[in-house]
Amino acid sequence: MGAIYLLRHGQASFGSNNYDQLSATGHAQARVLGRALQARGVQPDVLISGSMQRHQETAAGALAELGLPPETPLIEHAGVNEFDHENVIEVAEPRYADKLVMMSEMAATGDPRRSFQKFFQDAVSRWVGGNHDDEYQEPWSVFKLRCVTALDDLVRQTPPKGTTLVFTSGGTISVICAHLLGLNDSQAFTINWTLANAGIPKVLSGRAGLHLVSINEHAHLEGCEPPMLTYR
């Protein structure tokens, strides 16, 4: 059977001018991820990354730890990109198109990360609900179809007994896992909220179809010093 590892990126830079770049913790998580894959004896036949900066920085850090040369081909696949979270936020609250306004209001609560998470969950629920599709650049239904179509492409590119590493995002992973588990739309993002940065979901592909054998492996991030387990 072929193996497809859907590797979530390391922690991005919440609150910075460029969210898409990895934080210092995110870079460290990428290296820990690479060492975890090496310890498993993973020898990838196909390497795929979304086109986002955080995907490619995670790939660079992990693959260096795997001992692969820098010139190793890394296929860019926009189909595994994350949804546009900024658009989802701004549709839910247009004032938050100004990030300073959003961060100021979140900071005023005394716990900006928790406040943002609550707001973001509500914004995502509105998007997933499908009652306002014309307001979004990429409606939920379109995003979901993109992710499932990308999965089909990943399966085609994975050799029958080979291994594919895919550097992607939590939203994409959640949709693919929900699809394989037969979950409905409202259940899909319950997966997303608990996915660890640099976690390791795994899908097996064979004659009998696709089998989701893990969703959120993250033992390699536990017990690290400094702490490495993050979710956002």
Mean pLDDT value across residues 97-112? 88
> Are the CB atoms for 178 and 150 separated by under 8 Å?
no
- What would the mean pLDDT of 223-230 be, rounded to a whole number? 86
Res 82 pLDDT > 70? yes
Which has more pLDDT, 68 or 79?
79
Q: What is the mean predicted confidence (pLDDT) over 20-44? A: 94
Give tens-digit pLDDT for 129-138.
Answer: 989 999 999 9
Structure tokens belonging to residue 63: 């693959």
CB of 8 closer than 8 Å to CB of 197: yes
pTM confidence score: 0.92
Token digits of residue 14:
């919440």
Instruction: Please tell me the total number of residues recorded for the chain in this structure.
Output: 232
- What are residue 204's DSSP bridge partners? 3, 211
Rounded to whole angstroms, the Cα distance separating 60 from 53 reads: 11
Contacts 24+ apart (CB under 8 A), 19-24: 19/86, 20/52, 20/53, 20/54, 21/53, 21/54, 21/57, 22/53, 22/54, 22/57, 22/58, 22/61
pLDDT above 70: residue 160: yes
> Which amino acid would we find at residue 15?
G
Query: What are the pLDDT digits (tens) for 190-203?
Result: 898 899 999 999 99
Q: CA-based Rg of the chain, rounded to a whole angstrom?
A: 18
What is the pLDDT at residue 190? 87
